[in-house]
Amino acid sequence: MPVAVDFETIVIGGGPAGSTTAALLAMKGFKVLILERELFPRAHVGESLLPASLPIFDSLGVRAAIDNAGFIKKYGAAMVWGNNRSIWSWLFAETKGPYSHSYQVTRPEFDTILLDNAREKGVQIREQCQVLGPIFSKDDATVTGVEYINQDGNRETVRSKVVIDASGQQTLFANQFNLKDWDVAFKHLAIYGYYAGGEHLPTPDQGSILIESFENGWVWKIPLHDGTTSVGVVMDADWAQAEIKKSSVDSVFERQVLLTNEISRLISEATFKNKTHLIKDWSYVTTRMTGDGYALVGDAACFIDPLFSSGVHLALQSGVLAAAYAATVIQSPDLARSAARQYEATYRRRYGYFHELARLFYGSNKSLDSQFWRDRSLNEENWSDTSREEFINVVAGNAPEGYERVVIDQGHAPKNFIKAIEEAENSRIDRATFSQQFSNNELLLKSPTLVDDARLVKGATLGDGIYELGYLLQTSARPEGYPVIAPIALLLNLMDQKRTVRSLAEEVASTLKVDDSITEELVLVAIRNLAADGLVEL
């Protein structure tokens, strides 16, 4: 007999990851509860956002609210890093992505917009409720709810079909299940605070984040719409702790900011507001992000150094995926484990991308000769073939045009890295031109086959807000696979290095009982794309 539940999903934490997951589930008609420790609006670090989040704001229906809040539009990033000590900048518009701006947000306001939106979409929200931990099924195998301290200070339990841990750096489940893997490469500590006033960079960088490397780490400067400027110093954790012991958090902050040339100049007339905040900025990833009845999302699953302002975006993106996972557990429990694998593989890939990029970014800044940068430096010896492979794998399929391009142009990346990324880029272009060099008539006579490394499997694929049973084309570099629609799966299954593209198209058309000419056209497009992506040999 199914156990009675109070909610279909319980979400622990109402930050960007939690409110996104919860709102999307409520929009699908599910009964959802958020338990949040604080009373919103609550303070939070992390103001600088990425343009890739804009489509998520659209699906959540919060774009207008974000625009109306008057947040400063961010068109790119400015840096003192790499080859020289002057400011250089780049704009999102240069990356050919669909969005050329993002926002610099005050987090209390931004997070409240997202949480209010979840409430409007039907999520029940209980603030000032601290979750203590999960509760389990009788055999202890499945998470079936949580225990928490309610607003009156009393312990309560609440049951659900799925629990999403979105507790941020609190990492509630990861701590309890011992899943946290600290990353020694990014053992940092940050001290930050706010100034009233502060000079902006000249147009078009007036809304950009400024990142200035200096001898003991790097400093961010973010202009905010309420007239304040957020300034934070990122340092080696052990070194900074020792400095703090000798003096105080405030004086370490003040001294390090004064070591910068550009940021200290831009805030020289500004007034420091209230107090400094000290925060552990030590990257980690969990060894498992899902289990029966639960998933970890946002910072509760992994955290990567804030160099690329990727945290909120990863929180939102993983929120979208976790909502689909939870919907699958509720509606198609037979597919839950396969959906969990997909969720985890996809989130790990996105985390991996920023992780490798950050490693490369720290490692190729040679404009400063100090202990901090020497310890993180990458050269031909420690940028091994494996690291290079990892990097190429995580950025595979993307032309280097954003931060990767910047590393190549402005940094001192190891030569073997630059060569590898150029080779990967050239082979991508070669494959694309190779598949285009055949006319349709020539291509119809080819007998394609899947490359050795690729295999077609059945598994969970992401549909409209839920995982569905479908086909995946897996490779060793992409174990989560590329989702493939049924007619293409049929085509791939028929490929045997003997059948020509023409006969493949005819067989697909007759099996699916559809028009020959339309099928032939689609098969030609599919073969060209698969060949360009290196999945099919002609």
Ligand X SMILES: Cc1cc2nc3c(=O)[nH]c(=O)nc-3n(C[C@H](O)[C@H](O)[C@H](O)COP(=O)(O)OP(=O)(O)OC[C@H]3O[C@@H](n4cnc5c(N)ncnc54)[C@H](O)[C@@H]3O)c2cc1C
Interface with ligand X (CB under 6 A):
12-18, 35-38, 44-49, 130-131, 166-170, 172, 190, 232, 279, 281, 298-300, 306, 309-313, 315
Nearer to ligand X, 200 or 412 (CB): 200
Euclidean distance between CA atoms 134 and 146, whole angstroms: 4
What tokens does 289 get?
């992000």
Euclidean distance between CA atoms 374 and 389, whole angstroms: 23
Smallest gap from Cβ 450 to ligand X, in A, equals 38
CA 252 to chain centre: 31
Euclidean distance between CA atoms 319 and 43, whole angstroms: 21
Nearer to ligand X, 187 or 428 (CB): 187
Nearer to ligand X, 52 or 489 (CB): 52
Nearer to ligand X, 220 or 438 (CB): 220
- In angstroms, what CA-CA distances link 169 with 212, 284, 300, 363, 456? 25, 10, 6, 25, 37
**Contact assessment for residue 238 and residue 118, using Cβ atoms and an 8 Å cutoff:** no
- Tokens 């405030």 locate to 250
Smallest gap from Cβ 174 to ligand X, in A, equals 12
Nearer to ligand X, 312 or 504 (CB): 312
Smallest gap from Cβ 481 to ligand X, in A, equals 26
What tokens does 292 get?
């029966």
Smallest gap from Cβ 390 to ligand X, in A, equals 22
Nearer to ligand X, 62 or 489 (CB): 62
Euclidean distance between CA atoms 79 and 17, whole angstroms: 28
Burial class (CB in 10 A: 0-12, 13-18, 19+), 469: middle
Smallest gap from Cβ 42 to ligand X, in A, equals 6
Smallest gap from Cβ 228 to ligand X, in A, equals 15
Burial 318-347 (b: 16+ CB within 10 A, else e): bbbbbbbbbbbbbebeebbebbbbbbbebb
Whether the ω angle into residue 134 lies within 30 degrees of 0, i.e. cis, is no
Smallest gap from Cβ 165 to ligand X, in A, equals 9
- List, in order, residues 6 or more apart from 254 with CB less than 8 Å away: none
Smallest gap from Cβ 289 to ligand X, in A, equals 12
Smallest gap from Cβ 476 to ligand X, in A, equals 30
CA 385 to chain centre: 25
Tell me how far apart the 2 most distant CA atoms of the chain are, in Å.
Answer: 79
- Reduced to 3 states, what is the DSSP secondary structure of residue 296? strand
Torsion of CA 302, 308, 313, 317, to 10 degrees: -60
**Contact assessment for residue 236 and residue 372, using Cβ atoms and an 8 Å cutoff:** yes
Nearer to ligand X, 17 or 324 (CB): 17
Nearer to ligand X, 130 or 331 (CB): 130
Nearer to ligand X, 168 or 411 (CB): 168
Smallest gap from Cβ 513 to ligand X, in A, equals 48
What's the one-letter identity of residue 109?
Answer: E
Smallest gap from Cβ 189 to ligand X, in A, equals 9
3-state secondary structure 102-143: EEECCHHHHHHHHHHHHHHCCCEEECCCEEEEEEECCCCCCE
Nearer to ligand X, 307 or 460 (CB): 307
Nearer to ligand X, 320 or 531 (CB): 320
Nearer to ligand X, 42 or 428 (CB): 42
| 394 secondary structure, DSSP code | H
What tokens does 223 get?
């202009």
Angle (CA) 430-434-439 rounded to 5° is 155
Q: Which residue spans within 423-522 are E strands per DSSP?
A: 449-450, 455-462, 467-474, 482-484
Smallest gap from Cβ 223 to ligand X, in A, equals 12
